């Protein structure tokens, strides 16, 4: 543990926080883009409710199996694969045409983003000594909340300038970076 306890761990904490912020931008964009998306597809409130919640269906169902996979495969690989898949799902939302395909893209997004919090918790357990894990965990958790503070107005600006699809392109590109 002593080797891992150097200043590198705080760099890891920053990366975890940035990853969580970007991860939450992809969750925020559907709520902000919802009015424009609903107008384009003539969606009822119920239909938009299914789109908005589709992400959560797979996210919740996949969390426990993902935790087991993280233990077997590792944080780095699972996080990379999840990020690539969630970027593709976000791009998919921007390019598809149709209610069913938007729901599919959100279902895929839920699968892809399910590893983020378990991976961050596992990385925190690996890189931080017990006496600092509370601080490290609260830092990446606070990043999730901070993401909504900056993400909602940022995504709203993108929607106003480039339309709802532009918001998904922007968050997808940000995720790839």
CATH code, 114: 1.20.1250.20
Q: Give whole-number Cα distances, 90 to 101, 125, 163, 170, in Å.
A: 12, 30, 15, 9
Q: What is the mean pLDDT of residues 25-30?
A: 88
Structure confidence by residue, pLDDT tens digits, 40-84: 999 999 999 999 999 999 999 999 999 999 999 999 999 999 999
The pLDDT of residue 90 is 96
Distance of CA 85 to the CA centre of its chain: 11
The pLDDT of residue 10 is 86
Query: What is the number of structural domains in the chain?
Result: 1
Task: Round the average pLDDT of the chain to a whole number and report it.
Answer: 91
The pLDDT of residue 5 is 58
Tell me: pLDDT of 1 over 60: no
- Sort 55 into a burial class: Cβ within 10 Å, 0-12 / 13-18 / 19+: buried
Cα–Cα distance measured from residue 162 to residue 15, given in angstroms and rounded to the nearest whole number:
29
Structure confidence by residue, pLDDT tens digits, 107-153: 999 999 999 989 999 999 888 888 988 998 898 889 989 999 999 99
pLDDT category of residue 177 using cuts at 50, 70 and 90: confident
pLDDT over 90 percentage in the chain: 71
Whole-structure pTM over 0.75, yes or no? yes
Range of the domain at 148: 2-176
Three-state SS annotation for the chain: CHHHHCCHHHHHHHHHHHHHHHHHHHHHHHHHHHHHHHHHHCCCHHHHHHHHHHHHHHHHHHHHHHHHHHHHHCHHHHHHHHHHHHHHHHHHHHHCCCHHHHHHHHHHHHHHHCCHHHHHHHHHHHHCCHHHHHHHHHHHHHHHHHHHHHHHHHHHHHHHHHHHHHHHHHHHHHHHC
CA angle 84, 169, 153 (to 5 degrees): 110
| Core vs surface per residue 121-151: b (16+ CB within 10 A) or e | bbbbeebbeeeeeeebbebbbebbeebeeeb
The pLDDT of residue 2 is 53
Q: What is the mean pLDDT of residues 149-164?
A: 95
């Amino acid at each position: 543990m002593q080797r891992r306890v150097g200043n590198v761990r705080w760099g890891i904490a920053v990366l975890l926080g940035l990853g969580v912020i970007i991860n939450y931008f992809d969750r925020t964009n559907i709520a902000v883009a919802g009015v424009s998306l609903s107008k384009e597809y003539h969606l009822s409130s119920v239909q938009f409710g299914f789109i908005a919640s589709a992400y959560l269906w797979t996210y919740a169902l996949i969390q426990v199996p993902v935790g087991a996979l993280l233990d077997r495969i590792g944080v780095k690989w699972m996080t990379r694969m999840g990020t690539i898949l969630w970027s593709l799902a976000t791009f998919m939302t921007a390019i598809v045409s149709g209610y069913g395909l938007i729901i599919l893209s959100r279902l895929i997004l839920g699968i892809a983003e399910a590893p983020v919090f378990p991976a961050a918790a596992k990385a925190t357990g690996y890189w931080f000594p017990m006496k600092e894990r509370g601080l490290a965990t609260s830092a990446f958790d606070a990043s999730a909340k901070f993401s909504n503070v900056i993400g909602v107005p940022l995504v709203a600006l993108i929607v106003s300038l480039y339309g709802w699809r532009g918001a998904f392109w922007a968050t997808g590109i940000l995720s790839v970076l």
